[in-house]
Chain A
Amino acid sequence: MSTHTRPVEILRFNTCGSVDDGKSTLIGRLLYDSKNLMEDQLEALQRSADLTGGGQVNLANITDGLRAEREQGITIDVAYRYFATPRRRFIVADTPGHVQYTRNMVTGASTANLSVVLVDARQGVTEQTRRHACIAALLGIPHIVFAVNKMDLVEWSERRFLAIRAEIEAFLPKLDAFRDVKFIPISALHGDNVVDPSPRTPWYEGPTLLRHLETVHIASDWNLTALRFPVQWVNRPHRPTDSALHDFRGFSGQLAGGIVRTGQWVLVLPSGWKTTVREIWTPEGIEAEAFCPQSVTLVLEHDLDISRGDMIVSPDQLPGMSQEIQGRVCWMHPKPLIAGRKFLLKHTTQTVQAVVTSLESRLDIATFEAEPGPSELGLNDIGEVRLRTSRPLIYDGYGFNRMTGSFILIEPGTNATVAAGMLRSPSEPARLEYTDFAI
């Protein structure tokens, strides 16, 4: 007997909203109404309701896990939640909505397929709504949902809902980012249109939030067009006694883009060597092909000197390769970024030294305007910077591939992660000194 018959996909989404928009209540509601809350969790909720909530069960207490959060009634850090329906598994990043917590939103959004932006029906579109939409756009999230919450407090007014929708639709073209956009009128507190359709919104014909999460098409969210294989770990068994493994040399890593097939020609960067793929070891055994985001080990036809940080790519779709790069960073540290500072830059499987050569602009994420030539970027600022690296990066634009177009900056000494970066498309494909076949 098997509990399911068809394959179940994972959808990752994040929720964002201002402090009192009801994010945690919404997640609590999704878990509660989809029967993903357990009795002991409910009991614990009841206990804390008796202690602190004057007897009122607070669904937000399900997600606010740290003591300081429960005491202050706020969400401090990204919390991950898991729930399942027969159609899909869900990983939810509950990201705090305070202005100063942009870095948490970037964290939660970086791995999401979809963003749920909460809008308070009474307040309408606020600066925060625009910030959340802007960050979702910057992080290349393909799908976005505007959940217009607290509809119960505006008498379920269709006019109110449509006015909010129109205001959002007016600014979305400026972001030019999302593959699909949904607007859903809900009450997280009472559960309307969260899991079950609401009898109070007869004018709304779209899906409930959960229905949409279960059905939105995510199969094409990964880049399957251009092979990108950053070498993560060189697999050499060092077993002199085992003749089958004596000469084994494989290159392990996670496919960051495209599909790899045995027999296909590949190019190794930065060296420029060409060879073919002899074997593909996947978690499920040796296969004829593998695809992004699988973790595999490639055995190549020729014995080449390849190490961590090199990238195996398809010869007909080359990434960029340069020591001079440009991109957007979200600054995540209290000590501001100024031009001239040096960092460690981690990109795919390579960590290099990098100096920020100039700050080009700072983005006002509420107006979407870029202010040129800032003197510094402060905590939670997003800005355009130029960097020079100690070794060439082999990369794509973030808009083309989230995995080969992203990087982090690490402060030497403290080892703090100080920035999340998204690269501009390279101005030209990698130029190779020689493109000889191997041997």
Chain B
Amino acid sequence: MKGTYQLDHLQYLENEAIHVLREVAAEFERPCILFSGGKDSICLLRLAEKAFRPSPIPMPLLNVDTGHHFPELNEFRDRRARELGARLIVRKVEDAIARGIAVPAPGEVSRNRLQIPTLLAAIEEFRFDACVGGARRDEEKSRAKERFFSFRDAFGQWDPRNQRPEVWNLYNTRVNPGEHMRVFPLSNWTELDVWEYIRKEKLEVPRIYFSHRRLCVRRQGQWLAVNEFLPPQPGEEVRELRVRVRTIGDIISTGMIESPADSLDDIIAEVAAARVTERGARADDRTGDAAMEDRKRLGYF
């Protein structure tokens, strides 16, 4: 919108996110960016490139590998970090279990809860004082009350009833030793904004976001990808479908949606017309009305 001195919605969100990223670089000693290879963190990385260019991104990338990631995602993650010349730190839930940092409950298959101690151990190991993540407020109800700079105490806990007021764009970034901050530059972005930005910036995303044929098993009202961790049980319906993912969690809990969308334009049209939220397709968020709030209090990202 040259000549009118007005920003459209994507430009507004981009400028806001860049401001937040630069505030992190300027005010923290040891920040990192949480990078999973998912669509939100892909946008985050692009924004970080823009915030600091022509300098390289002045912080390492961190990923907690649950061991249940889609292989396509890890491949993409590693390649993207290499292209950027960024330092990528991966910490595995598997190793955290072996070292007794994360302890699975008897019969616990999901790695969702076990990511938390793994992440907190990585924060301690590298003495990170800020972790920048791609979470958005529109994802989930308890995230709607999240700050751009979200304080975590020495146990990594979030206290939703005692958050620092966040006024204007004046962010209180101060933490004491052992405490840290989670920072969410995409707080004000919606799912549609993310896809529109990916299209505008011509960003590459993992293929599993686009329609492909895959063997799926019907479980608890959704289609899950058949894989080594998730063998179909006798009597379960298994079909090969044209599917894509809308949001990526672990391979054992990410619902595949039937979709012919195989281009960014198709995805944007599909998201714009969608009648269920993105996280409606994730079994981990459906355990209870307050499922996310409970996990966030404990240090989830």
Interface residues of A (CB under 8 A from B): 1-3, 7-10, 38-41, 44, 47-48, 63, 65-68, 70, 76-82, 84, 89, 91, 103-104, 106-107, 110-111, 219, 222, 224, 232-233, 235-238, 245, 248, 250, 252-254, 259, 281, 283-284, 291, 293-295, 297, 308, 332, 344, 346-347, 349, 402-403, 406-408, 410, 415-417, 420
Q: Which of B15, B167, B269 interacts with A408 by CB under 8 Å?
A: B167
* B168 with A406: CB separation less than 8 A: yes
Q: How many angstroms from the CA of A80 to the CA of B188 in the assembled complex?
A: 8
* B276 with A38: CB separation less than 8 A: yes
The interface size bin for chain B is 35 or more
Question: Which of B14, B165, B176 has the largest number of chain A CB atoms within 10 A?
Answer: B165
Q: Which of B19, B190, B268 interacts with A295 by CB under 8 Å?
A: B19
Q: Does B163 contact A (CB under 8 A)?
A: yes
* B52 with A235: CB separation less than 8 A: yes
Q: Which residue of B lies closest to A414 (CB)?
A: B176
* A44 with B293: CB separation less than 8 A: no
Q: Which residue of B lies closest to A294 (CB)?
A: B15
* B168 with A219: CB separation less than 8 A: no
Q: How many angstroms from the CA of A10 to the CA of B196 in the assembled complex?
A: 15
Q: How many angstroms from the CA of A83 to the CA of B25 in the assembled complex?
A: 31
Q: How many angstroms from the CA of A318 to the CA of B4 in the assembled complex?
A: 25
Q: Which of A2, A9, A39, A76 interacts with B8 by CB under 8 Å?
A: A9
Contact of A237 with B55 at beta-carbon distance under 8 Å, contacts A39-B275, A79-B144, A283-B15 already known: yes
Q: Does B115 contact A (CB under 8 A)?
A: no
Q: How many angstroms from the CA of A39 to the CA of B163 in the assembled complex?
A: 31
Q: Does B141 contact A (CB under 8 A)?
A: yes
Q: Please encode chain B, from 154 to 173, with 1 for each CB lying within 8 Å of some chain A CB and 0 for all others.
A: 00000011011111111010
* A81 with B144: CB separation less than 8 A: yes
Q: How many angstroms from the CA of A222 to the CA of B280 in the assembled complex?
A: 38
Q: Which of A77, A104, A293 interacts with B7 by CB under 8 Å?
A: A293
Q: Which of A7, A236, A349, A415 interacts with B172 by CB under 8 Å?
A: A415
Q: How many angstroms from the CA of A16 to the CA of B137 in the assembled complex?
A: 20
**18 residue pairs bridging A and B, Cβ less than 8 Å apart:** A3-B272, A7-B6, A7-B8, A38-B280, A47-B289, A77-B163, A80-B188, A81-B138, A111-B167, A232-B26, A235-B52, A284-B11, A293-B16, A406-B167, A408-B167, A408-B170, A415-B175, A417-B167
CB-defined contacts of A332 to chain B, threshold 8 Å: 165
Q: Which of B19, B26, B167, B275 interacts with A38 by CB under 8 Å?
A: B275
Within 8 A of A (CB), among B236-284: 265, 268-269, 272, 274-277, 280
CB-defined contacts of A91 to chain B, threshold 8 Å: 188
Q: Does B110 contact A (CB under 8 A)?
A: no
* B12 with A406: CB separation less than 8 A: no
Q: Which of B15, B53, B268 interacts with A293 by CB under 8 Å?
A: B15
* B25 with A233: CB separation less than 8 A: yes
Within 8 A of A (CB), among B7-53: 7-9, 11-16, 18-19, 22-23, 25-26, 50-53
Q: How many angstroms from the CA of A40 to the CA of B19 in the assembled complex?
A: 34
Chain A's nearest CB lies how many Å from the CB of B130? 14
* A248 with B277: CB separation less than 8 A: no
Q: Does B56 contact A (CB under 8 A)?
A: yes
* A248 with B170: CB separation less than 8 A: no
Q: Does B211 contact A (CB under 8 A)?
A: no
CB-defined contacts of A77 to chain B, threshold 8 Å: 145, 160-161, 163
* B265 with A67: CB separation less than 8 A: no
Q: How many angstroms from the CA of A103 to the CA of B146 in the assembled complex?
A: 16
* B272 with A252: CB separation less than 8 A: no
Q: Does B235 contact A (CB under 8 A)?
A: no
* B56 with A237: CB separation less than 8 A: yes
Q: How many angstroms from the CA of A106 to the CA of B170 in the assembled complex?
A: 13
Q: Which of B23, B170, B174 interacts with A232 by CB under 8 Å?
A: B23
Question: Which of B52, B174, B265, B280 has the largest number of chain A CB atoms within 10 A?
Answer: B174
* A70 with B289: CB separation less than 8 A: yes
Q: How many angstroms from the CA of A7 to the CA of B8 in the assembled complex?
A: 5
Q: How many angstroms from the CA of A403 to the CA of B19 in the assembled complex?
A: 13
Q: How many angstroms from the CA of A238 to the CA of B56 in the assembled complex?
A: 9
Q: How many angstroms from the CA of A80 to the CA of B135 in the assembled complex?
A: 14
Q: List 10 extra interface pairs beyond A80-B188, A237-B56, CB under 8 A.
A: A9-B7, A41-B277, A82-B138, A103-B165, A106-B167, A233-B25, A347-B170, A408-B172, A416-B164, A417-B167
Q: How many angstroms from the CA of A384 to the CA of B265 in the assembled complex?
A: 53
CB-defined contacts of A79 to chain B, threshold 8 Å: 144-145
CB-defined contacts of B97 to chain A, threshold 8 Å: none
Chain A's nearest CB lies how many Å from the CB of B173? 9
CB-defined contacts of A283 to chain B, threshold 8 Å: 11, 14-15, 18, 50
Q: Does B106 contact A (CB under 8 A)?
A: no
Q: Which of B193, B268, B293 interacts with A66 by CB under 8 Å?
A: B293
Chain A's nearest CB lies how many Å from the CB of B196? 8
* B145 with A65: CB separation less than 8 A: yes
Q: Does B1 contact A (CB under 8 A)?
A: yes
CB-defined contacts of B22 to chain A, threshold 8 Å: 232-233, 252-253, 295
Q: Which residue of B lies closest to A237 (CB)?
A: B55
Chain B's nearest CB lies how many Å from the CB of A302? 19
